[in-house]
A and B are shown apart, each in its own frame.
Chain A
């Protein structure tokens, strides 16, 4: 099973600040996927195929990476970005998710 380790677990950022969330895989994966989940809501696809933004996702978000190291970056934090973000891989079954990064507004 591929273990995805996200860091940090929690982060607080001020509006306008740049934020980077990292997802490290225990073995190489082909692509990484990111989901945003707000409290009490279903997760939403946020980034697919490592770097493609899902429909409606602001272009201040970006995704990058390869092999065992991937990241989600917010260029300038906005209050609406406060949420938990999960990474996910399908290169190996079982499909696995990271344990999540909670992003808060400072």
Chain B
């Protein structure tokens, strides 16, 4: 069965960076995009961007360019997101999600979700 296992909660200081992971299992990692989505406490969902694990191709929401950086390690089927120059507005749960259909140009929607990583930015 498809699983996305995310790393644990982080408490970080303003101005610092954090890197979180999303380990995939139960499918061919390189065949589906991985997406990252932000949810602030009590708020809605916001798309950060996506990465194609096979190609390394990335697409970012303009709002998160310079804030988020995606990478993958194909050998461990793990996707990573680094967030930099953190502020209290970055306090949120961050989800990774897998696309619905394999390959590009098949639509960007989220068939499977990780459990989320809570990032708290506080001094």
A contact residues vs B (CB 8 Å cutoff) = 31, 33, 35, 42-45, 48-49, 54, 86, 88, 90, 93-100
Q: Which of B39-47, B72-80, B84-92 contacts A (4 or more CB under 8 A)?
A: B39-47
B interface vs A, CB < 8 Å? 35, 44-47, 59, 61-63, 95, 100, 107-116
**Total A-B pairs, Cβ < 8 A:** 53
Q: If the complex has contacts A48-B100, A94-B63, are A35 and B44 also in contact, measured as CB distance less than 8 A?
A: no
Provide the residues of chain B in CB contact with A96, threshold 8 Å: 47
Contacts A33-B109, A42-B95, A90-B109 given; does A95 touch B47 at CB 8 Å:
yes
- Which residues of A have CB within 8 Å of B108? 90, 95
The answer to whether B45 touches A94, judged by C-beta atoms less than 8 angstroms apart, is: no
A-B contact sample (14 more), CB < 8 A, given A94-B61, A94-B62, A98-B44: A42-B113, A42-B114, A43-B95, A45-B100, A45-B112, A48-B100, A86-B45, A88-B45, A90-B108, A95-B35, A97-B45, A97-B46, A99-B44, A100-B45
